[in-house]
Chain A
Amino acid sequence: MISKILVANRGEIAVRVMRACRELDITSVAVYSEVDRAAKHVRYADEAYEIGPAPSRESYLRIDKIMDVARRSGADAIHPGYGFLAENPELPAACEEQGIIFIGPGSESMALVGDKTRARETVESVGIPIVPGIKEPLQSSEQAIAVAKAIGYPVMLKASGGGGGKGVRIVENDQDLPGALERARAEAVSAFNNPDVYLEKYLVRPRHVEVQVVADAHGNVVHLNERECSVQRRYQKLIEESPSCALTPELRRQMGEAAIRAIRASGYVNAGTVEFLVDSERNFYFLEVNARLQVEHPVTELITGLDLVKLQILVAGGQKLPMTQKQVRINGAAIECRISAEDPQTFLPSTGIIEELIEPAGPGVRVESGISVGYEVPIYYDPLVAKLITWGADRAEALSRMDRALKEYKIRGILTTIPFHQKALRFGPFLEGDYHTGMVSEIEHTETSEHIEIAAMAATIVAMAESRVDLQPGEKGAGSQWRMSGRANGGLYRIGW
């Protein structure tokens, strides 16, 4: 039995895993970089160990340091979360060597599905359709151009070493391909320490639908239905929901079976996700297997009533899945909005100190958050700071709860994507469920001239109040939250309120 789990991650997902540990009476161990000493996951854990400087290459990506903490803390299992080392087969390999349980697939099947070219060969061999492209890492821009000409533009460059939208570029013509390849490689090195990039045909107006699967070590594999993740920008998912409006019961059954076949063919154990693209004719193509717990797993948890992290821990400990395919039900509908520290219009990163935080609550609302008041969002890591998930008896209720919960959610001190989500929830095609992966660029940022004038007045009046300020921080009494915000913004203090 597993009694102590090291969570090799940070932020909301580390807290999520530790919550499952607490419910199962398992001791949790956090790791943290120098800048994360005050982070929520460190405070939530039962034990915490520093693993180095802020850049992830020197801390969260260091297998040697993680394994060292596992030894020192006496952890009998490691949960990798998502991102960082979650899809690096060297971590399960190190665990296998040292007799520590890795809560995820074995190193061999992770290496197989993580190598996208081998993964595609494997699923093709069991009759699952794939998107045309080149399976091997690109050797040169000349080769890339030749392949792109053969399959036709537009084409997509993707990092072989990982997912999450890093290292992805769409290219429309020969001229842009060499530069895009260079940038994709640089991002791939920075995010995954692996410069390999491959190329495939880019489908127009596709929907991104993935199937959650969980497999035990006794040959049982069940799928937990799909998640629709078509609301994306730069291949980063923004909103996910289940069930998908694009699937019929028959297509759901076919894709579920295909996903199970892909998982079996890869010798995969534990929770995994099989990603597909679905075109407007309802053809589906295998995209990749994500060998980890997904960011959007709560959507599946809400409609199935299952706890995926607990299932992961259960099967990693060698036990059988507690349910059969027939026992997996869809109850109602769920939707997730990813709350990122980004400008809601440009999606440029935003950092700063969280001055004020009011989280939504009430019926059907779930918040997974890695931030708290006073926490400084660093530039070194993923901008995802929280996830808001709502459940409803049907899609309409899930959406109206999401709209209500977004209105309740207040995060001050950084910019967040909350205003983007509010817009998306009023966007006609989204409300009707008729959307595709290009939806984000179609959302218009309406600006009424009367409103911009009111806004300009309000900004001026606030700016005037701020310029009547005391620039001597030491002269006032103990600081309020507003004074803290002043320090975060170049030493200005808000008074006059």
Chain B
Amino acid sequence: MAYIVSAGERSFRVNAERIEAKPFEEIYDVSLDESRRRVSIARISPSHLSILVDNISYNVEVSRYADGYQVSVRDELFSFRVADEREYVSAGLHEKGEAVVAAPMPGLVVDVLVKQGDEIEARQKLLILEAMKMQNELVSPKSGTIADVHVKPGDSVNTGDRLVVIE
């Protein structure tokens, strides 16, 4: 089963099969986009993997957060969303032209500045979300028409909740 691993604009198709489980390590056959590698994994703790690829050693910290993962490798930090390839397609995230604006953080909806059917420009303000005393303006990633507004002022939302759909 393949997964789509995405970080911002980039995404990878990753298929990892465990081909061997030894007392101190697991061997995976990992396909990442076009490349294929044999990878040794040792689980040091639930959040800490030791990874050997071609004898190069990586200490990788993986922590789950909201609906994604934060991963640090050699002092670099990445945030990923990992989706089963089948879900990824059926969720319609790749439907042509549709953009879903999701909550980037948990918070309270202070104001909704658009309604269904509004024609909007890219970077236009959609709504204002407040958390931990800061107000944040969420803007439209593209121009289009508001297809759906899922929240109203006073609602509290979690990271990843759908707020506005633009088509």
Chain B residues with Cβ below 8 Å from A345 are 77, 79
Cβ–Cβ contact A448 & B76, under 8 A: yes
Most B CB contacts (10 A, CB to CB) among A352, A383, A419, A464 go to: A464
List chain B residues, Cβ under 8 A from A448. Answer: 74, 76
B132 in contact with A382 (CB, 8 Å): yes
> Which A residues from 465 to 497 make CB contacts under 8 A with B?
466-467, 482, 485, 489-490, 494, 497
Residues of A within 8 A of B39 (CB): 457
A458 to B3, CA, bound (A): 12
Residues A340-394 near B (CB distance < 8 A) = 341, 343-346, 348-352, 356, 379-383
Q: What separation, in Å, do the CA atoms of A445 and B7 have in the docked complex?
A: 13
Q: How far is the CA of A482 from the CA of B62 in the complex (A)?
A: 13
Q: Is the CB of B16 within 8 A of A460?
A: yes
Residues of B within 8 A of A432 (CB): none
Binds A, one of B88-96, B101-109, B114-122, B141-149: B101-109
In the complex, A451 has a CB within 8 A of chain B: yes
The answer to whether A379 and B156 touch across the interface, beta carbons within 8 angstroms, is yes
- Output the least CB separation between A418 and chain B (Å): 10
Give Cα A415–Cα B66 distance, bound, in whole angstroms: 10
Instruction: Judge whether A350 and B65 touch: CB under 8 Å.
Output: yes
A456 adjacent to chain B (CB < 8 Å): yes
> Among the listed stretches A45-53, A134-142, A182-190, A321-329, which one makes contact with chain B, having 4 or more residues with CB under 8 Å of it?
A182-190
Contacting residue for A383 out of B76, B132, B135, CB 8 A: B132
A346, A446, A458: the one within 8 Å of B71 (CB): A458
Asked if B19 is at the interface (CB within 8 A of a chain A CB), the reply is no
Residue B100, interface by CB 8 Å: no
What band does the interface of chain B fall in when counting residues whose beta carbon is under 8 Å from A? 35 or more
CA distance A445 to B30 in the complex (A): 27
Residues on the B chain within 8 Å of A382, using CB: 132-133
For residue A453, CB closer than 8 A to chain B, the reply is yes
Known contacts A459-B71, A497-B43; A447/B78 CB under 8 A: yes
How many residues of chain A are within 8 Å of chain B by beta carbon? 56
Q: B110 contacts the other chain (Cβ, under 8 Å)?
A: yes
Q: Is B134 a contact partner of A187 (Cβ separation < 8 A)? A: yes
User: B121 → chain A, closest Cβ, in Å?
Assistant: 14
A462 beta carbon closer than 8 Å to chain B: yes
How many residue pairs, one in A and one in B, have C-beta atoms under 8 Å apart? Answer: 155
Residue contact A379 to B71, C-beta cutoff 8 Å: no
**A352 and B65 contact, CB distance less than 8 A:** yes
Q: Which residues of B contact A453 (CB under 8 A)?
A: 12, 32, 35
In the assembled complex, A463 has its CB within 8 A of some CB on chain B:
yes
Of all chain A residues, the one with the shortest Cβ separation from B108 is A379
Given contacts A455-B80, A457-B39, A482-B46, contact A463 B73 (CB under 8 A): no
Q: Which residue of A lies closest to B2 (CB)?
A: A460
Per-residue CB contact flags for chain B residues 27-46 toward chain A (1 = under 8 Å, else 0) read: 01010100100010101011
Contacts of A447 in B (CB 8 A): 76, 78
In the complex the two chains form, is B78's CB within 8 Å of A463's CB?
Answer: no
Given A351-B106, A482-B46: A462 in contact with B16 (beta carbons within 8 A): no
B106 near A379 with CB under 8 A, answer yes
Closest residue of chain B to A342, judged by CB?
B132
- In-complex Cβ contact of A379 among B82, B131, B136 (8 A): B131
B72 touches A419 (CB 8 A): yes
If A412-B47, A466-B64, A485-B64 touch, does A459 touch B69 (CB 8 Å cutoff)?
yes
Give the docked Cα–Cα distance between A380 and B73 (Å): 32
Given that A348-B105, A454-B58 are contacting pairs, would A460 and B77 also be in contact in the complex, using a CB cutoff of 8 Å?
A: no
Contact A348 B14 (CB under 8 A): no
The distance from the CB of A419 to the nearest CB of chain B, in whole angstroms, is 5
Q: Kindly list chain B residues whose C-beta atoms are within 8 Å of the C-beta of A446.
A: 76
Q: Is the CB of A456 within 8 A of B14?
A: yes
Q: Mark B44-84, 1 if CB is under 8 A from A, else 0.
A: 01110101010000101011111101111111111110101
| A-B pairs with beta carbons under 8 Å apart, 8 shown | A351-B106, A379-B131, A446-B76, A456-B71, A456-B78, A458-B71, A460-B5, A463-B3
Interface residues of B, Cβ cutoff 8 Å to A: 3, 5, 7, 10, 12, 14, 16, 28, 30, 32, 35, 39, 41, 43, 45-47, 49, 51, 53, 58, 60, 62-67, 69-80, 82, 84, 104-108, 110, 128, 130-137, 156, 159
Closest 9 pairs (CB-CB, A-B): A455-B71, A348-B105, A463-B82, A349-B131, A349-B132, A451-B73, A460-B14, A383-B132, A458-B60
